């Protein structure tokens, strides 16, 4: 399935786990899906999250492939192969944590780890029909995760249930305590965003099955937050990986994005930081009134692999996920389908550091129609 990059045999635990190959495992190269890093030195120590997984007596069975340098949204990788989307084989697996989402969808692991700088957990979760959580920014250790410095990136889990997401979070975040089951319906706000009618209809039909009310609300800085997030990731990825553009070994799509990212100025980053403060405050105000915000994970049905070579042309696919990297709020994608059986994600956004409560809300929403 082109999911496994390198085999790993560690631990004898009952849970099988795979980790994205932008996360260090001692003695193994961290290649981040790039030919440009194939000659890098093996990691001298485990990432913090890997140590926690092994300490929990889990078995790490593989590292997973990704969109090169975690700087793309389709998951297409011509060097190591593109992970097949197990449930929707014609469609992209989503990026950048493509292999991690596909491995869970294929039943190859109990949970997997990905990273999310601009939607890279929630997007592939929606594409592959699994659950994916982007924790609150800074909550899960990024020590041993590449790039080493990021203002937006989060390590988080994929799984086939919210309960397994909670188990994974307890392992990788010692402060995570599973919240009590909700005794009454959460107070939800439906964030008004632009999305294809097919996507909106699927979510509305799902919500119609629930005994829940979702109040329509707006976030006036939502689009500005998307663009601000792009500016920050572009600037920071150029700092981290710009030198690799001189090797001739970076794939054309990522190389082009990096060269374009080089044009991002510090002044633009400072403007983005101002947007970050304003947008974060706006979302915080909404979450003072509601338990969670809901909106689609993706604005459209994921495209077919054959139509998805041009990453830049598809950046709008991150339009509904990237703003919450800027604000840092936790967000989970719940897998849904259209009447035609195509994948749709329902994104639920919670209060800062209320990750456990967010999972409880997600379980309530998912259980309401079982």
**Chain-centre distance of CA 355, in angstroms?**
15
Q: Which two tokens stand for residue 326?
A: 């800027």
**Chain-centre distance of CA 6, in angstroms?**
22
**DSSP calls for 16-47:** EEEEETTB--TTS---TT-GGGTTSPPPSS--
Q: 3-state DSSP call for residue 206?
A: helix
* 96 tagged catalytic: yes
Q: Exposed/middle/buried for 100, CB within 10 Å: 0-12, 13-18, 19+?
A: buried
CA-nearest of 76, 91, 96 to 2 is 76
Q: Which two tokens stand for residue 150?
A: 């990021």
Contact 243, 36 (CB under 8 A): no
Contact 98, 67 (CB under 8 A): yes
240/190 Cα distance (integer angstroms): 37
User: For the chain, where are the E strands, in sequence order?
Assistant: 4-10, 16-20, 59-64, 111-116, 131-134, 154-159, 188-191, 214-217, 292-296, 331-337, 343-349
146/117 Cα distance (integer angstroms): 11
Q: 3-state DSSP call for residue 346?
A: strand
In angstroms, the first-to-last Cα distance of the chain is 31
Task: Kindly name the residue from 22, 34, 120, 151 that is annotated as catalytic.
Answer: 120
Task: Kindly name the residue from 34, 96, 97, 327 that is annotated as catalytic.
Answer: 96
Q: Which two tokens stand for residue 40?
A: 């890098």
Task: Kindly name the residue from 20, 63, 87, 276 that is annotated as catalytic.
Answer: 20
Contact 311, 73 (CB under 8 A): yes
* 333 tagged catalytic: no
- Cα 251 to Cα 8, 33, 40, 68, 81: the distances in Å are 26, 10, 17, 8, 12
Annotated catalytic sites, by residue? Answer: 20, 96, 120
């Amino acid at each position: 399935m082109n999911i496994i990059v390198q085999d790993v045999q560690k631990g004898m635990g009952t849970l099988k786990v795979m980790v994205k190959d932008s996360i260090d495992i001692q003695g193994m190269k961290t290649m981040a899906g790039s030919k440009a890093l194939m000659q890098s030195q093996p990691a001298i120590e485990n990432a913090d999250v890997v140590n926690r997984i092994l300490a929990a007596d889990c078995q790490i069975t593989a590292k997973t492939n990704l969109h090169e340098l975690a700087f793309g949204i389709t998951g297409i990788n011509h060097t190591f192969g593109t992970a097949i989307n197990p449930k929707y084989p014609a469609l992209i697996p989503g990026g950048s944590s493509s292999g991690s989402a596909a491995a869970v969808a294929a039943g190859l692991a109990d949970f997997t780890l990905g990273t999310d700088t601009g939607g890279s957990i929630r997007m592939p979760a929606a594409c592959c029909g699994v659950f994916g959580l982007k924790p609150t920014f800074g909550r899960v250790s990024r020590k041993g995760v590449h790039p080493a410095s990021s203002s937006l990136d989060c390590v988080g889990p994929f799984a086939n249930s919210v309960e397994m997401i909670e188990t994974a979070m307890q392992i990788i975040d010692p402060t995570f305590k599973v919240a009590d089951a909700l005794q009454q319906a959460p107070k939800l706000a439906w964030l008004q965003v632009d999305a294809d009618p097919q996507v909106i209809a699927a979510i509305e039909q799902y919500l119609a099955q629930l005994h829940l009310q979702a109040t329509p609300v707006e976030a006036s800085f939502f689009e500005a937050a998307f663009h601000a997030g792009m500016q920050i990731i572009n600037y920071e990825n150029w700092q981290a990986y710009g030198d690799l553009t001189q090797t001739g070994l970076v794939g054309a799509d990522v190389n082009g994005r990096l060269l374009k990212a080089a044009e991002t100025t510090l002044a633009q980053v400072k403007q983005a930081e101002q947007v970050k403060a304003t947008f974060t405050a706006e979302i915080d105000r909404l979450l003072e009134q509601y338990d969670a915000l809901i909106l689609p994970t993706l604005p459209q049905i994921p495209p077919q692999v054959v139509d998805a070579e041009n990453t830049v042309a598809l950046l709008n696919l991150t339009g509904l996920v990237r703003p919450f990297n800027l604000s840092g709020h936790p967000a989970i994608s719940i897998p849904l389908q259209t009447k035609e059986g195509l994948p749709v994600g329902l994104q639920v956004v919670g209060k800062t550091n209320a990750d456990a409560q967010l999972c409880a809300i997600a379980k309530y929403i998912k259980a309401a129609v079982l």
